Structure 1
Amino acid sequence: MEEIPSVSDLTMTLDGIVLAAGFEDRAYAALERSRFRPDARCVLIRFVNAVPGNGQVFRRYRDAARERFAEGAIDVVDLRHDDPAAMERDLGQVLGQLPRATRHLGLDVSGLPAYATCMALKALRTKRSENPLTVLYTAALEYNPARAEYDELIAAAGDEIELIPHSMALEMDQNLQLDSFSGYRSQNAKTCLAILAGYEAHRANGVVEETNPSLLLLFYGRPGDASLNWRLDLSRRLHRKFEKARRTATETVSTLRFEETMAALEHYYNYLIDDYDLALAPLGSKMQTVAAYLFWERYSETQLMFPTPIGYDPGRSPKGAGSTYATTLEPRSLLFRGSWRDSMAEFRSD
C-alpha cells in the first residue's frame, strides 16, 4: 500500500465538529486533537439505548466537550435505538440553526455505526451543501477479534471458518432500511447485493437471506497497516461460504482510502446497472462506510441496507487510540459529479 502522507498537525482550523459519545477509546481522539476557532460549535450524538454505562459515557463526553467549547456552544442530538431515523431530522435542525460563520465542520466517524454515519453525512451534506466537510477517523490500537483468536480459529477450522469470532456487536437483529436510502427498485430487474465485508458474517448472512440476490459482490478490506493483513485473511475465510453458494465476484480494497472503494463500486455499477437493481450493505471499516454514502450520493437509485445487531458489548470494543486521519470533501455541489481527494492525511496535535 502507498504510504499515508503524514503532517505534524491538523493544518485546518475547524468551525465545529459532529461526533458520537461512544464507548470506544478512539472516539475521544478527534475532540482532543483537532484545532477549533474560539467560537466553534460542537454537536454530540447521544446514544439512547439500554447498554449498561451509556449515561456515564455520555457525561464524560459532555465534560470533555466543555473543556474545548464555550458555554452554550454544545448541542446534543439523540440516536434512539427504537427510532434511529429521527437522528437525521434532528441533526438537520441543529445544523440549520448554527451561525452562518460556522462554515467548515468536521465529522468524526470513529464512534458511529454505519447507519448513523450515513445519516450524519446526509444531514451535513444537505444542510451545509455549500461548505466543505472534513471527515475525521481514528484507528484503534487493538481490535477484536485479536490475533490469538484468529490463530485458534485457523487451527481448528482451516480454509473456511464457521465459528463466528466474538465482537462488540451482538447477534443479528434486523436489516435496517431507512427511507432516506431506499433507492429505486424496478419491477423486473434482478438484484445485485454488494457487501463491504468485515468480520461479522452473521450480519452478512442476514442481509443475503433477506435480499436473495442474483449476484453477490464481496469487497474485502485491506488494512492500512501491513501487520494487520491477517484480518483480511480472516474476513475472506468467514465469508467463503457465500462465494461457494452463489454467483459471486470479489475485490480487495483499502479500509482507509475510501476512493478505492468508490472506484471499485463504480466499475461494477457501470457494467450492471442496466440489468440489476443494486443494494449495498456497509459492514466493513468506518471509511468504507463513508465510501458507501458518497456512492449513494452520486447514484441515489442504489439502496443502502444496514444489518444491525440487537445491541453491543462495550467490553469487546476496540482499545486505545492510534493515528487520526483527516480528509476534506469539497462542497456537495462540486463533488456530486466531480472528484475527491485521493488520500487521507495523518495528523497529530500536541
Structure 2
Amino acid sequence: MHLEGATPVDVLWCDKDDPMHGMFKLQEILGRDRTADHLRITVDITTFTKQYLLVLLKWIEHHLPNAAVRTVYTPGQYGETRAQQARFTWGVKDIVTVPMYGMPPSPESSDVLVIFLGYERERTYRLWRTLEPDLTIAVIGVPPAFPGANYTSEILNARILNSKTDDIAIRSCSAVDPADAARLLCDVAAEHEGCNLVVAPLGTKMQTLGLYLFSRRREGRAAQIMYALPLRYDEKYYTVGHTSYVYEFDLAGAPK
C-alpha cells in the first residue's frame, strides 16, 4: 500500500492468516506519520489474500474516511491444462468469518450462500459442505480475466455445479469489473430479502473488491463473509501476470 506524500518505505511482516495483525501494524505506522497528504492511497492487491484485502479496505474506510483509493490488480495467466492440474493451496486449516464483516444470522431465516468460483476447488467444496446452505448461488466469472478462465473454473468446481439438487443456482458476473460483482450481489440481496446472506470470495480479487463495494452500499444490511483458510500455499504454481486492471473510488463520496 502506498500513501502519496509519504517518503519512507515500510515493510510490514504480518501473519498471513490474521489480517487484524497487519492492521495493528499499519495503524502504528500511520500513527507516526499521518497528514492530510496521505488521502490518496494506492493498493496493489495482486498478492493479497482476499481476506486481507477486505479487512484492509474496511480499515481504510474507518481510519481514513476521506481517502481516494486506487487499486491495482494483475491476474496470473495459466494454460487450461496447467490450471486444472495445479494445486495453488493444500488443505483447509479453518473456515472463518472475515473480521469486520460478521452479520449475525437469524435462526428463523433461510441461509443463502453466494460463492464466487475460481481455481480453489478444495477450499470451495469444503466451505460449501461445511455451511450446508438452503440455497447456493455459484458465480462464474464471465467475461473472464483472460480467455478460457471461466471454463477451467467450471471444470474445477464440477462437484458443486453438477450436484443433482434443486438448491444450486448458477449466475455470472465479470471477473474484472468490481461494479458488476456489486450489482450482482445487490440483485441477490433484493431477491432474497429476509434471508441470511453469506458470501464466500473464492473468485478473483476484482470480484472481492466488488464485494467490499456491496458492503458499503448496504452498510449494516450487507452479508456475512466467510473464508476458507488453506493449510499451506504452493508457490511453485505462481505465474507471470496478465493484463493489469485499475479501479478507483472515493471513500468520501456515496458508494456507487
Q: TM-score, normalised by structure 2?
A: 0.88
Q: Contact conserved, 1:216 with 1:249, CA < 8 A, in 2?
A: yes
Match of 1:91 in 2: 26
Taking the aligned partners of 1:267 and 1:117, their CA distance within structure 2 comes to 23
Deviation digits for residues 14-54 of structure 1 (CA, Å, limit 9, x no counterpart): xx717xxxxxxxxxxxxxxxxxx6xx33xxxxxxxxxxxxx
- Code of the aligned partner of 1:17: H
2:200 to 281, 298, 308: 281
* Greater mean alpha carbon deviation, residues 257-266 or residues 80-89: 80-89
Larger Rg: 1
Question: Cα 1:304–1:92, aligned 2, differ >3 Å: closer, same or farther?
Answer: farther
Match of 2:88 in 1: 168
1:207 to 127, 146, 150: 127
Match of 1:102 in 2: 38
Question: Cα 1:324–1:231, aligned 2, differ >3 Å: closer, same or farther?
Answer: closer
Matches within 5 A, 1:40-55: 40-41=5-6
| 2:238 aligned with 1:317 | yes
Match of 1:240 in 2: 158
Q: Contact conserved, 1:104 with 1:132, CA < 8 A, in 2?
A: yes
Match of 1:305 in 2: 226
Question: Cα 1:108–1:82, aligned 2, differ >3 Å: closer, same or farther?
Answer: closer
How far did 1:82 drift?
A: 6.0
2:75 to 139, 142, 150: 139
How far did 1:258 drift?
A: 1.0
How far did 1:287 drift?
A: 0.5
- Code of the aligned partner of 1:281: A
Match of 1:126 in 2: 62
Taking the aligned partners of 1:165 and 1:147, their CA distance within structure 2 comes to 9
1:328 to 239, 248, 255: 248
Deviation digits for residues 92-137 of structure 1 (CA, Å, limit 9, x no counterpart): 4433542222221111111101001111111112211112111111
- % identical equivalent positions: 20
Taking the aligned partners of 1:167 and 1:111, their CA distance within structure 2 comes to 17
How far did 1:90 drift?
A: 2.9
Q: Contact conserved, 2:111 with 2:135, CA < 8 A, in 1?
A: yes
Q: Structure 2, unaligned stretches of length 5 or more? A: none
| 2:102 aligned with 1:117 | no
Q: Contact conserved, 2:55 with 2:99, CA < 8 A, in 1?
A: no
Q: Contact conserved, 2:97 with 2:227, CA < 8 A, in 1?
A: yes
Taking the aligned partners of 1:212 and 1:235, their CA distance within structure 2 comes to 21
Match of 2:2 in 1: 17
SS in 1 for 2:37: coil
Q: Superposition RMSD on alpha carbons, in Å?
A: 2.2
Taking the aligned partners of 2:183 and 2:117, their CA distance within structure 1 comes to 16
Taking the aligned partners of 1:267 and 1:240, their CA distance within structure 2 comes to 25
Q: Structure 1, unaligned stretches of length 5 or more? A: 1-15, 19-36, 42-69, 151-163, 340-350
Match of 2:180 in 1: 260
Taking the aligned partners of 2:214 and 2:141, their CA distance within structure 1 comes to 17
Deviation digits for residues 232-257 of structure 1 (CA, Å, limit 9, x no counterpart): 11212332332424411111211111
Q: TM-score, normalised by structure 1?
A: 0.66
Count of residue pairs brought into register by the alignment: 251
Deviation digits for residues 156-207 of structure 1 (CA, Å, limit 9, x no counterpart): xxxxxxxx63232222221122342111211211111100100112111111
| 2:103 aligned with 1:198 | no
Q: Contact conserved, 1:223 with 1:254, CA < 8 A, in 2?
A: yes
